[in-house]
Chain A
Amino acid sequence: EVQLVESGGGLVQPGRSLRLSCAASGLTFHDYAMHWVRQAPGKGLEWVSGISWNGRSTDYADSVKGRFTISRDNAKNSLYLQMNDLRAEDMAFYYCAAGYGTGRATVCDYWGQGTLVTVSS
């Protein structure tokens, strides 16, 4: 059974940083591109960032470009999202998702249950 477990969410002040992690199991991690998708409470889905299987290609939504950095460690079956200069509009549930394929243009086949990031002073 594929499991994606996010961690690292919590309450943070505006302008501060937070690092999210996603631990993957039940799949051959390096066969999958990985994504972060967020959802503000009661709102729709927003794709945030994606990374290819080997970490060499990354993409970002315009709303987070220059502030967020996605990375992965295939030896640890883990995905990360470093979030800097957090703003109120970044407050959301952050989902980790896996998409089969070597490129970064993949769907989100598997999803974690999400971790909540709250940005407030």
Chain B
Amino acid sequence: EIVLTQSPGTLSLSPGERATLSCRASQRVASSYVAWYQQKPGQAPRLLIYAASSRATGIPDRFSGSGSGTDFTLTISRLEPEDFAVYYCQQYGNSPFTFGPGTKVHVK
């Protein structure tokens, strides 16, 4: 099973700042099959990024993903008020398709 580690666990930032979230896999993820999801309290998760760097439909271009192998990054270029949430990475290249523990981005 591939174990995903996300860092930092919590990120304190102000609107307009840049957020950089890391996801590290315990072994290489096949075909860079890494996705990023956003979840707000009381809501289902929302897909942001798939295949490490492709934005899902309707996702603003301030969200970008990068990485390959075992190291992946989600960047939010300028935080908007609605971006404060929990972010999860997931690998879907090797079953079981594991999630990371999440990074909470909250208002400083």
A45 near B45: Cβ-Cβ < 8 Å: yes
What sequence of 0s and 1s flags, for each residue 80-116 of chain A, a beta carbon within 8 Å of any chain B beta carbon?
Answer: 0000000000000001000100001111110111100
A111 near B96: Cβ-Cβ < 8 Å: no
Interface size on A, residues (CB 8 A): 23
Contacts of A46 in B (CB 8 A): 99
Contacts of B72 in A (CB 8 A): none
List 12 additional contacts besides A44-B88, A104-B95, A107-B35; criterion CB under 8 Å.
A37-B45, A44-B99, A44-B101, A45-B88, A45-B99, A45-B102, A47-B97, A60-B96, A99-B92, A105-B97, A108-B47, A111-B45
A residues with CB within 8 A of B: 35, 37, 44-47, 50, 59-62, 95, 99, 104-109, 111-114
B33 near A108: Cβ-Cβ < 8 Å: no
What sequence of 0s and 1s flags, for each residue 3-40 of chain B, a beta carbon within 8 Å of any chain A beta carbon?
Answer: 00000000000000000000000000000010101010
B99 near A61: Cβ-Cβ < 8 Å: no
B96 near A62: Cβ-Cβ < 8 Å: yes
- From residue A115, how far is it (CB to closest CB) to chain B in Å? 11
Considering the complex, give the chain A residue whose CB is closest to the CB of B44.
A111
The answer to whether the Cβ of B1 comes within 8 Å of any Cβ in the partner chain is yes
B44 near A95: Cβ-Cβ < 8 Å: yes
Interface size on B, residues (CB 8 A): 23
B residues with CB within 8 A of A: 1, 33, 35, 37, 39, 44-47, 50, 56, 88, 90, 92-93, 95-102
> With A44-B101, A44-B102, A47-B97 known to touch, is A106 a contact of B44 (CB < 8 Å)?
no
B47 near A107: Cβ-Cβ < 8 Å: yes
> With A107-B50, A107-B90 known to touch, is A47 a contact of B45 (CB < 8 Å)?
no
Bound-state CA distance A35–B88 (Å) is 16
B99 near A47: Cβ-Cβ < 8 Å: yes
Considering the complex, give the chain B residue whose CB is closest to the CB of A47.
B97
Across the A-B interface, the 3 shortest Cβ-Cβ residue pairs: A111-B44, A59-B95, A45-B99
